[in-house]
Structure 1
């Protein structure tokens, strides 16, 4: 996707700032730019039936209908397009605006503080290609039913991909996280967002869990045979943990393998920690008693209190990417991130930062004393056969 082919809307009331944004867009190759000076005019353009705007650049402090109200209305506009928020508001307020935009379901490419540079604009606009590619792929898929998924299970089409987890102090590869994928014969590799909701609605997550656990265990055995002693983290749905004998099934299964229980870490989301289900807590406690790891995933986006969190016998806290990416440049995120790491240190738990995307993120987490890290800056998820080769290459440089 070429920037020259995209159509931009700049909503900025200050003439100097508006001209600056237009000049920055032009400098990176934009050729189709429409300018407005208030929110009402912007909404009028975006509400037209034949609107072809791809990206809107919106100042929050607009006269009349301000940028926040405009974003709320944009979320209801039939034709979807992407938004970049541009403002001189402080980082704490920009973070709140970003969170609000995502809550409204707006396709937000990011927020940019003033003064805007062409380089920063180009970086944010680059996110549109990934967003468009995923949207185009999924819009071509038919509605999936549990029968489709069950057929995929029977045909052995579901598999885990593995993303490396790095010890930030030693830079050694210590483990991986398993991500479920569906290698669909017609539509290619499908992400969990396409099939997990269908499994959950049909109360069929135990089928997928069994496949991912078995294939992850087989991969772990093969890596150990090659000399790579890695842990494998596997996401477990609350509906699976509600099965009375889930832990007993796992314990019995792993006991037949030549792999220590400590090699397996079972992840539960922070949101699920608020459950009062007795089987949920019993299964997690039983797993910990038998040496398995338990990780609280997506920490920082749920609504659990510290008291609710402490009910879970967790050995590891995985800090969500929303608190990690860009924290080095955002004082608000830095405060929340450092507080989360302090909780881990006080409780003698390990910490994992998810979503490391830049060297700035890496260096910042090292400075704060985070235990482990994973993210695209390190590596994307890969198949089990590719991992040993990747580890050897990583060791050459680190």
Structure 2
């Protein structure tokens, strides 16, 4: 989105700092900037129905209502805009506030440490994407029933789209992750956040997962036939993997296909590592033993210890986007990101940085020695037939 179309709020009590942030925004092309000298004045601006703020730059240590309290009010009132923290406070404190903001559900683009620079501000603004109000997005959708879900499965309406995963060292495409949407005949594309809970509730998760596996493997075989021998990654829920018979179905299915197990990577979330269910671990151990890849997704967002994580026989660790975006200008994030990559190196595992959205992210991850990158800077998810064409074009740059 063009920065000239965005409305900014600068909440900063120091006159010089407030003016400097405003000048930087103006120099970058911003035309609509509102200033506030404290948290209460900023909240009043955000509550004004005639003023729609897209991005708020918030100082934390302000008199009266400070920035931390302001963020709580922003979350409570479900303000749709994004925020950027601007502060000179201790890095560990900033990291705590960042974690708090995300836990509140606020769209945090990142933190600028004072004195702010145009380069740091530009990097964070590039990661901005307008938020869609969840209530607006689902207002036209009905309450889907078991019959709706079952019919969708019978008609094979759940289709994966694939986002490429690229080797940071040489730019080669090494794999693609499947993201599935429901192509409903009446309501169009229905997001996973709507149908996944229903699949769990109605006991249809295994049927859904296997359909995604079938379609993804068919696409993967097609890529191989077009000269692109890459792997496909599919996220499976603990519900599926807690049934050893489901793992057997995957193994038996791949044995009938013209493809080796190594080209299917099973993704599980980090929180799954906390479970102590023997069936879950049995499924993963058998799949890994048969040559399938196992990837731990969203690493860093769960509450598992490294000891719990090591229960999973993983071959790949996917570092959550919250530790990737803005890490090049945020020393606290850089520390966490570097530590995660060091874990991968020490354990001889592949590392994947998710949410790579800028050239700065790409360059920084290369410098830190991350193995793979995935994100909008490289490509958005696309259908299986388009991916080989995209790979042909991408290869021309390396």
TM over 0.5: yes
Are 2:246 and 1:258 equivalent residues in the alignment? no
On the 8 A contact 1:92/1:331 being kept in 2, the answer is no
Q: Which moved more, 1:256-265 or 1:184-193?
A: 184-193
Partners in 2 of 1:374 and 1:128 — Cα distance? Answer: 17
On the 8 A contact 2:163/2:374 being kept in 1, the answer is yes
Alignment correspondent of 2:202: 202
Partners in 1 of 2:303 and 2:152 — Cα distance? Answer: 35
Judged with a 3 Å threshold, the aligned counterparts in structure 2 of structure 1 residues 64 and 190 are, in CA distance, closer, same or farther, namely same
Partners in 1 of 2:58 and 2:229 — Cα distance? Answer: 50
1:46-104, Cα deviation, whole Å (9 max, x unpaired) = 45677654543321110122110121122222654443322233544333322211111
Alignment correspondent of 1:212: 212
TM superposition score normalised by structure 1: 0.89
Partners in 1 of 2:162 and 2:177 — Cα distance? Answer: 5
Judged with a 3 Å threshold, the aligned counterparts in structure 2 of structure 1 residues 64 and 240 are, in CA distance, closer, same or farther, namely same
Are 2:362 and 1:354 equivalent residues in the alignment? no
Deviation at 1:162, TM superposition (A): 1.1
Deviation at 1:229, TM superposition (A): 1.3
Alignment correspondent of 1:68: 68
Q: Which moved more, 1:307-316 or 1:100-109?
A: 100-109
Partners in 2 of 1:353 and 1:273 — Cα distance? Answer: 19
1:351 aligned counterpart, secondary structure: strand
2:254 aligned counterpart, secondary structure: helix
Deviation at 1:219, TM superposition (A): 0.9
On the 8 A contact 2:124/2:326 being kept in 1, the answer is no
Partners in 1 of 2:300 and 2:181 — Cα distance? Answer: 25
Gaps of 5+ in 2: none
2:334 aligned counterpart, secondary structure: helix
Alignment correspondent of 1:241: 241
On the 8 A contact 2:126/2:358 being kept in 1, the answer is no
Are 2:13 and 1:19 equivalent residues in the alignment? no
Partners in 2 of 1:54 and 1:165 — Cα distance? Answer: 31
Q: Which moved more, 1:301-310 or 1:90-99?
A: 90-99
After TM superposition, the structure 1 = structure 2 runs for residues 94-243 of structure 1, keeping only pairs within 5 Å, are: 94-116=94-116, 124=124, 129-132=129-132, 136-243=136-243
Are 2:282 and 1:286 equivalent residues in the alignment? no
On the 8 A contact 2:206/2:246 being kept in 1, the answer is no
On the 8 A contact 2:39/2:62 being kept in 1, the answer is yes
Partners in 2 of 1:263 and 1:380 — Cα distance? Answer: 21
Partners in 1 of 2:334 and 2:244 — Cα distance? Answer: 40
TM superposition score normalised by structure 2: 0.89
On the 8 A contact 1:159/1:215 being kept in 2, the answer is yes
Partners in 1 of 2:76 and 2:112 — Cα distance? Answer: 23
Q: Which moved more, 1:352-361 or 1:134-143?
A: 134-143
Judged with a 3 Å threshold, the aligned counterparts in structure 2 of structure 1 residues 30 and 176 are, in CA distance, closer, same or farther, namely closer
Are 2:269 and 1:269 equivalent residues in the alignment? yes
Deviation at 1:31, TM superposition (A): 5.4
Partners in 2 of 1:139 and 1:300 — Cα distance? Answer: 33
Alignment correspondent of 2:393: 393
Partners in 2 of 1:334 and 1:119 — Cα distance? Answer: 17
Gaps of 5+ in 1: none
Partners in 2 of 1:376 and 1:303 — Cα distance? Answer: 27
On the 8 A contact 2:112/2:329 being kept in 1, the answer is no
On the 8 A contact 1:203/1:239 being kept in 2, the answer is no
Paired positions, count: 398
- Name the structure, 1 or 2, with higher relative contact order (CA <8 Å, separation 6+): 2
1:130 aligned counterpart, secondary structure: coil
Judged with a 3 Å threshold, the aligned counterparts in structure 2 of structure 1 residues 28 and 349 are, in CA distance, closer, same or farther, namely closer
